[in-house]
Amino acid sequence: RKITFEKQWFYLDNAIGHVYGTTFEVTSGGNLQPKQEVEETTTETKEAGTDNRNIVDDGKSQKLTHDDIKALKDKGIKGQEIVQQLIENSTTFRDKTEFAQDKYIKKKKKKYEAVITIVKPSTRILSTMYYAREPGKINHLRYDTLAQMLTLGNVHAGSKMIVMETCAGLVLGAVMERMGGYGSIIQMYPGGGPVRAATSCFGFPKPFFDNLHEFPLSKVQSLLSGTFTTETLPEENAVVEEESNGLSEEKQSSLQEAEEEPATETPMEINPTEEQDTMDMNAEDVEFKENKEKENKENVREKQIKQWERRKKLKEAAALLREKNADGLIVASKFHPTPLLLSLLEFVAPSRPFVVYCQYKEPLLECYTKLRERGGVINLKLSETWLRNYQVLPDRSHPKLTMSGGGGYLLSGITVVLEKGKPDCSNSEALKMEEPSSKRCKLQDLPC
Amino acid sequence: MSFVEYGDTIKDGDTAIVFLGHESMFPVKVQHGTVTQTKYGVIRHSTDLIGKKYGSKVTCSKGGWVFILHPTPELWTLNLPHRTQILYSTDISIITMMLELKPGSIVCESGTGSGSLSHALIRTVAPTGHLYTVEFHQQRAEKAREEFREHGVEHLVTVTNQDVCKNGFGVSNIADAVFLDIPSPWEAIGHAKSALKAEGGRICSFSPCIEQVQRTCLVMEEYGFTEINTLEILLRVYNVRTISLQIPDLGKAAEDNSSTGFDSCSPSHQGSPCANLQQGTVQFKSGVPLREVVGHTGYLTFATKS
C-alpha cells in the first residue's frame, strides 16, 4: 500500500520485522533501512568566524543555482552529498560562527536528508500528533491538558469511567490505555454512533473492547427519569418481530461468534446517517429480497444479528449507568459543558473526581456557578496549563516556543453525597466555607 | 480502601481525607476508638466514620461539618507529610504521559523522597506493574515503606536504600521507564540505561536548574538516548468571581444611559454582563488568576532508549 508523508511516498513492506524506533531513509518508492545512527557528517568546522560584521546579504553567497540543485536531486544523489555540495559552494560558510554553521547544516539536512522513524502508538505520540496536525478535530485539546485530565480524573485500572468526548476518540483511547483493559468505560455519544477514528490508531488488543460500552446521549434524560426502554429504538423493533420464528437457533450460534470478535467492529468509525439509511432500506425491502435471493436473506440476518448485538450492549450500558456508581466522569466535547455535567454527574458515585475540558474559559465559568447551585461537588478548580519547550545545547539553551491560550481549560472537582431537601442551607454554608475573604462574599451576594 | 482501588465505605485502618473546605484538608488514619480534632469540633472514628460512605458529610461536635473523601494520589500529594520538596500533580501528569506509563509498566524511580510521585506511579501501573524506587536516605526509605504498607500498595513497590549514582537501581533490563529526581542526574544515566529493557524504554529527569539539564542532556546523548526533549509545565488556577465595575459618570442624562450598550438583563441570566443602573455598575463573571502563582518547579527532560 502506498503511503504519503511530508511530500514523500513509500511502501511500508520493508519496515516489517524491524523493532519500533528504527529509522528509515526513503528511496524512490520503497523503504531502505540505514544505520540507527547516521555517522556525523564530518564537516570540519575548524574554520569559523567570530561575528557577522562582514557578512553581507547579497543573495550571491550560494554559487549553485536552483537548476544545479534540481539536477543533483534528479540524479538520485544521496541527500548527505547534496548538503556537502551546498556547504562547499557557500562563500560565506567559512565566515559564519561555529553556531551559525551548525544551524545551516541542520536546516539543509532537514530539507535534503529525509529520514523516517517508525514508533509505537501511545497517548503521548497520538495526542502530540493530533494537536499538531488536526487540532480542530480534538477541540484544540493540547497534550499536556489531556495529561492533566487523566491525572485529575484518577484514571486507573479497575475503574468504571464515563467518557463523553467529541475528540475523534483520542480521549477515549487515552483513558483505555490507562485502564489497561481492567474495569469498564461507558462512552456517551451524540448522534448515531461513537466516533473512534483515533481510538483505532492505538492498536488496542481485542479484550480491551469487551468492557467498552456506548450509550446515546439523547437517551440520557429518559434514563434519568426512568422511562428508558430499548424498545424505543424504532429500527430494532422491526427486527425483533421478524426474527421471532425459526431463526433463533442459528442466531444463537452466530451470536456467539460475533461475541468473540467484537473488537473488529467497535473501533471503526461509524457513519451515523449512512447506517441508519441502509437499515431503513433493508427493513422496507426485506420481503422483496427474501423471495429473490438467499444470499441477501443471509445479509439481512447478519444485519439483524448485529442490531440485536447492539441492542444487547445498549441494555448493558443502561444497566451500568443505572447503578449510578461510576468512578469518574471525563468530558471533552464541542458542546456546552453545563447541561452535560448537570445530567451526567447523576451517574457518578460520591467522592469521585470529574474533569471537564473546554476550549474556552467562559462556559466553564458558568458551569462552575451552576455546579455550586446544584451542590454535591467540592474542591472545584478552574485551571489551565502552560507548556514551554526548550532548546538545550552547549551555550545555546533557551526556551523554544511558548504555547499558551491554545491548550484549553479544565474544570475539575470531587463529588460528594448530595443532600436533598435543604439545598439552600447547604449551599450558603458551602459558599461561606469556600470563600475565605469576606469581600468576595459580599460581591457574590450582590444581585446580578 | 486502597490507593489503587475504590471502596464504598470507610473501614478501620483506612487512610481518609478530611475536607474542611476551600483547599483545607488533612489525612486521617481511621481507627476504632480514636478521635480527631478539627476547627469544627471532634470527629469520633467509631461512630462518625467507620461504616459511612466515602463522600459523606460528617457533623462534628460543635455542629460544624466536614466531608470525608476517598484517598487518591492527587489528594495525598496535597496532604502528605513533607520530608523533602515534592512533585505536584501538574508535573506528575505530564511525566506519566510522556513516560507512556500504563497498567503493567515497570518503573524505576530515584529518589523516593516523600513519595508524592511514587503513589501516582503505583496507581498507574497497578495491578500488574511494579515500581522500583531507590532512596539513599535510610530514614526516608523506611518511612516510605511504612506508608506503602499502610496504603495497601506494598505488593506493587520495592524500596531500596542505596545510592543510585553509585549502585544503580538494583535491577537490570526490566524497566519500561526511569524517572530521576536527584541533584546530579547525569551520574545516574548509565545506571538508568542498564535498568531499562533491552528493547528500549523512556527516561525522564527533573531538575530545577538549567545547568543540571545541560549536563544531563550531554550525558544522555553520550549514552545513545534519542528524542531528547526538555520542557516545562506551569499551572494557572483561576478564581471564579463576579466582578462589578462602576460606570463612570460622564454627565450624560439618565435616558442616554440605557443606550450605552450595557442593557440591563434578568438576574437569572448568568455569565453575561448585566448592568445595575441604580448603582451605575456593570457586573460580569470572570476567571481571575491567583495573586501569586508557582513560576517554576523544574525542567523535565525526556528521552528514549531504542
* pLDDT per residue as tens digits for the range B165-205: 999 999 999 999 999 999 999 999 999 999 999 999 999 99
Secondary structure of residue A306 in the 3-state scheme = helix
Q: Which of A177, A399, A434 sits opposite B102 (nearest CB)?
A: A177
Same domain, yes or no: B202 and B94? yes
- Among residues B21, B40, B71, which one ends one of the domains? B71
What ipTM is given for this predicted complex? 0.92
pTM: 0.82
C-alpha distance from B67 to closest chain A C-alpha (Å): 8
Asked if pLDDT for residue A140 goes beyond 60, the answer is yes
Chain A residues 172-201 with a CB less than 8 Å from chain B:
177-182
- Per-residue pLDDT tens for B244-258? 999 898 887 655 545
- Domain membership of residue B257 (yes or no) is no
Indicate the burial class of A87 (C-beta count within 10 angstroms; 0-12, 13-18, 19 or more).
Answer: middle
Asked if pLDDT for residue A429 goes beyond 70, the answer is no
d(CA A84, CA A105): 9
- Domain membership of residue B116 (yes or no) is yes
Residues present in chain B in total: 306
Same domain, yes or no: B97 and B151? yes
B20–A435 C-beta distance less than 8 A = no
Chain A residues 79-98 with a CB less than 8 Å from chain B:
none
Chain B residues 67-96 with a CB less than 8 Å from chain A:
67-70, 72-74, 89-90, 92-94, 96
Q: What is residue A264's predicted lDDT score, i.e. its pLDDT?
A: 34
Strand stretches in A72-165, DSSP E: 115-118, 160-165
β pairing state of A328-332 and A160-165: parallel
Same domain, yes or no: B111 and B209? yes
| Domain extent at residue B19 | 9-71
Indicate the burial class of B229 (C-beta count within 10 angstroms; 0-12, 13-18, 19 or more).
Answer: middle
Mean pLDDT on B47-63: 91
- What cell numbers appear for A100 in the block? 551559525
Q: What is residue A106's predicted lDDT score, i.e. its pLDDT?
A: 79
Q: CB of B254 within 8 Å of any CB in chain A?
A: no
Q: CB of B97 within 8 Å of any CB in chain A?
A: yes
- Per-residue pLDDT tens for B289-306? 987 788 899 999 999 998
Which residues of B contribute to the annotated binding site for S-adenosyl-L-methionine?
A: 114-117, 135, 163, 181
DSSP A223-257: HHHT---GGG-HHHHHHHHHTTSSTHHHHHHHHHH
A369–B240 C-beta distance less than 8 A = yes
Instruction: Using alpha carbons, list the distances in angstroms from residue A60 to A55, A56, A89, A94.
Output: 12, 10, 11, 15
Same domain, yes or no: B172 and B43? no
Asked if pLDDT for residue A6 goes beyond 90, the answer is no
Every domain of chain A and the residues it spans: 2-118, 121-229+289-418
Q: What is the DSSP letter of B45?
A: I
Q: What is residue A244's predicted lDDT score, i.e. its pLDDT?
A: 40
- Domain membership of residue B145 (yes or no) is yes
Amino acid at B103: P
B92–A151 C-beta distance less than 8 A = yes
Residues facing A411 on adjacent strands: A356, A382
Q: Which of B56, B283, B306 sits opposite A448 (nearest CB)?
A: B283
- Per-residue pLDDT tens for A170-213? 999 999 999 999 999 999 999 989 999 999 999 999 999 999 99
Amino acid at B44: R
Are the C-beta atoms of B183 and B204 separated by less than 8 Å? no
Mean pLDDT on A136-149: 96
**Total tally of structural domains belonging to chain B:** 2
Same domain, yes or no: B116 and B212? yes
Asked if pLDDT for residue B23 goes beyond 90, the answer is no
Asked if pLDDT for residue A235 goes beyond 90, the answer is no
Amino acid at A118: I
Cα-Cα-Cα-Cα torsion A296, A299, A301, A304, nearest 10 degrees, comes to: -130
Nearest-10 crossing angle of helices A66-74, A79-88: 150
Q: How far is CA A169 from the centre of its chain?
A: 5
A414–B213 C-beta distance less than 8 A = no
Which H or E run includes B80? none
Are the C-beta atoms of B227 and B239 separated by less than 8 Å? no
Domain harbouring B55, CATH code: 3.10.330.20
Q: Which residues of B touch A421 (CB under 8 A)?
A: none
- Per-residue pLDDT tens for A261-280? 333 333 333 333 333 334 44
Are the C-beta atoms of A367 and A341 separated by less than 8 Å? yes
Same domain, yes or no: B136 and B86? yes
d(CA A276, CA A235): 8
d(CA A200, CA A202): 5
Nearest-10 crossing angle of helices B89-98, A143-152: 110
Mean pLDDT score of chain A: 78
Q: Which residue has the higher pLDDT, A39 or A242?
A: A39
Q: What is residue A259's predicted lDDT score, i.e. its pLDDT?
A: 37
Q: CB of A154 within 8 Å of any CB in chain B?
A: yes
Asked if pLDDT for residue A249 goes beyond 70, the answer is no
Which CATH code of 3.30.70.141, 3.40.50.2300, 1.10.1660.10, 3.40.50.150 fits the domain covering A121-229+289-418?
A: 3.40.50.150
Instruction: Tell me if the bond preceding A353 is cis, omega within 30° of 0.
Output: no
Domain harbouring B218, CATH code: 3.40.50.150
Which H or E run includes A119? none
pLDDT cut 90: percent of chain B above it: 80
- Per-residue pLDDT tens for A99-130? 778 787 777 777 777 778 888 999 999 999 99
Amino acid at B142: E
Q: Which of B67, B72, B127 sits opposite A182 (nearest CB)?
A: B127
pLDDT cut 70: percent of chain A above it: 74
Same domain, yes or no: B108 and B22? no
Instruction: Tell me if the bond preceding A173 is cis, omega within 30° of 0.
Output: no
Same domain, yes or no: B26 and B145? no
Q: What is residue B183's predicted lDDT score, i.e. its pLDDT?
A: 96
Residue (of A438, A214, A407) closest to A315 by Cα position: A214
- Among residues B71, B99, B116, which one ends one of the domains? B71
Same domain, yes or no: B15 and B137? no
Q: What is residue A256's predicted lDDT score, i.e. its pLDDT?
A: 38
- Domain membership of residue B154 (yes or no) is yes
Same domain, yes or no: B15 and B40? yes
Asked if pLDDT for residue A242 goes beyond 60, the answer is no
- What cell numbers appear for A375 in the block? 451542590
d(CA B135, CA B160): 6
Q: Which of A380, A414, A417 sits opposite B57 (nearest CB)?
A: A417
β pairing state of A184-189 and A212-216: parallel
Q: Which residues of A touch B100 (CB under 8 A)?
A: 122-124
What confidence tier does A383 reach under pLDDT thresholds 50, 70, 90?
very high
- Among residues B52, B71, B90, which one ends one of the domains? B71
Q: Which of B90, B102, B238 sits opposite A385 (nearest CB)?
A: B90
- Domain membership of residue B220 (yes or no) is yes
Asked if pLDDT for residue A80 goes beyond 50, the answer is yes
d(CA B302, CA A144): 14
- Domain membership of residue B261 (yes or no) is no
Are the C-beta atoms of A441 and A435 separated by less than 8 Å? yes
Same domain, yes or no: B97 and B207? yes
Q: What is the DSSP letter of A61?
A: S
- Per-residue pLDDT tens for B87-144? 999 999 999 999 999 999 999 999 999 999 999 999 999 999 999 999 999 999 999 9
Same domain, yes or no: B208 and B142? yes
What confidence tier does B275 reach under pLDDT thresholds 50, 70, 90?
low
d(CA A75, CA A407): 45
- Per-residue pLDDT tens for A387-406? 999 999 988 899 987 666 68
C-alpha distance from A319 to closest chain B C-alpha (Å): 19
